[in-house]
Structure 1
Amino acid sequence: MVEHVLHIAASPRGERSVSAQIASAFLSALAERKAVEIDRLDPWDCDLPEVDGDLLAAKYAGLAGEPLTPGQAAAWDRIRKLADRFHRADTLLFSLPLWNFSIPYKLKHLIDAISHKDILFTFDERGLSGMLGRHRAVAIYARGLGYGPGSQTPEAEFGLEKRYLETWFRFVGIETVDSIVAEQTMGASGAESLAQATAQAVELARRY
């Protein structure tokens, strides 16, 4: 059975980035255990739709139950095709750096572009329901500084990228999430941090 993995590579540094190197180790170890098909989505190298104009109008027309104009339908179809890559995957693999205590803005743009009713979630009188419930997620976070207890940037206040992404996972229905955090990637301890996180990624893949 083939494991379909959508890798959302959210660092503009590409394969040089710490998060991408850890993700690569995870994928290599996973491929040793089973057949893997990888779809790589780089929000820095992707023509992401702007959430305005026809797309925004299509969103509100859909919420109101109104028919879409041809322009609105074309805009909606574009984000549906982008979101289909998420639906087709068995596993969503995110690799990302911490930027200003949150996620990179291109990743936020991608999430904003696809997170709509009847695209990644539904809601009715019973409440909201995510549409990716059969999926699992692996999130790999790279942080230049340390965010542990006693640091000047404790995670509870400054590690917002992990909390944001985990909230989004729950929103779209994903309950099985594995996280790997590489901290203090800058400076003398960077190599050790990379090695430890890489070992965690390989072990996770072997348990998959």
Structure 2
Amino acid sequence: MTCVLYIEGSPNKAYSASIDVCSAFLDAYRHAHPDHEIRTLDIWDLAMPEFDAAALAAKYAGLSGTALTPEQAAAWQQIERLAAPFHEADKFLFGVPLWNFSIPYKLKHLIDAISQKDVLFTFDASGFAGKLAGKKAAVVYARGLAYQAPGSFTPAAEFDLQRPYMETWLRFVGVTDVAGIVVERTLFGPDGKVDRSRAIDEARTLARTF
């Protein structure tokens, strides 16, 4: 059965623009693909291991081909369990609010923990290869200000470290079919509502053929 993994990146459950747009996407997706499975990974309810000394030692032991100690093996198993939903899914939907021009620290924690050799990527003398090749992703980016508007005092070319980071990471782990939906001006009352409504319509359209 085809599986969609929805990674919910906002802790603001009542008012989040990214959650609203993702919810509209998922409603349309369910209607278009009633036989597909949708799983939710809420990073704010997710117990994530620290990438601590034991995990780091396990990483370097693996790179050097050294046998892991029991402590290192236990730490690495936690990393592999955390990454398992990404291998099990066929498609991804990310809801990503912009925090300090980038992504929420919980999402960064997840990405840092699971982006490991032989977990989400491999490499050899010819270069890197992502282990999530053949999968596809849709990413909803929510922003309080207007980064894309002409004359913006936070122009995307200088201040947007959110979308470039997510798309670079997804390509690195093998996901090259990536669609993005941007909702801006979430702090701007009526203007924000217009942008949110437009993004919801865009999400519904994308979901039908995703």
Deviations 1:82-129 (A, max 9, x none): 111001111111001111100011110000000000000000111110
1:6 paired with 2:5, answer yes
- Give the percent of matched residue pairs that are identical in Structure 1 and Structure 2: 54
Aligned to 1:151: 152
Deviations 1:54-103 (A, max 9, x none): 11110010011100011111111111011110011111110011111000
Residue 96 of structure 1 corresponds to: 96
* Secondary structure at 1:23 match in 2: helix
Q: Deviations over 1:21-64 (max 9, x none)?
A: 11111111011111231221112111111111211110010011
Matched position secondary structure for 1:44:
coil
Q: Does 1:24 align with 2:23?
A: yes
Q: Work out whether 1:186 is the aligned partner of 2:187.
A: yes
Q: How does 1:57-76 map to 2 (within 5 A)?
A: 57-76=57-76
Once the two structures are TM-superposed, the CA of residue 15 in structure 1 deviates from its matched residue by 5.2
Show the counterpart of 1:50. Answer: 50
Consecutive unaligned residues of structure 2, counting only runs of 5 or more, are none
Deviation of 1:185 after TM superposition, in Å, equals 1.2
Segments ≥4 residues shifted beyond 4 Å = none
Q: How far apart are the structure 1 equivalents of 2:40 and 2:75?
A: 23
Provide the alpha-carbon RMSD of the alignment. 1.0
Aligned to 1:199: 201
Q: Is the 8 A contact 1:8 1:41 kept in 2?
A: yes
Distance in 1 of aligned mates of 2:137 and 2:12: 22
For 2:175, the equivalent position in structure 1 comes to 174
CA contact (8 A) 1:15 1:21 kept: no
| TM-score, length of structure 2 as denominator length | 0.96
Distance of 1:18 and 1:195 partners within structure 2: 10
CA shift, 1:134, in A, is: 1.3
Q: More deviation in 146-155 or 33-42? A: 33-42
Q: Distance in 2 between matches of 1:109 and 1:141?
A: 18
Q: What is the CA–CA distance in structure 1 between the aligned matches of 2:162 and 2:53, rounded to whole Å?
A: 29
Name the CA shift for 1:15/1:134 in 2 (closer, same or farther; >3 Å): farther
Q: Which amino acid in 1 is paired with 2:21?
A: I
Partner amino acid, structure 1, of 2:2: E
Q: For structure 1, which runs of at least 5 residues remain unmatched after alignment?
A: none
User: SS at the partner of 2:44?
Assistant: helix
Question: Is 1:143–1:182's contact at 8 Å kept on the other side of the alignment?
Answer: yes
CA–CA distance in 1 between the matches of 2:137 and 2:126?
Answer: 26
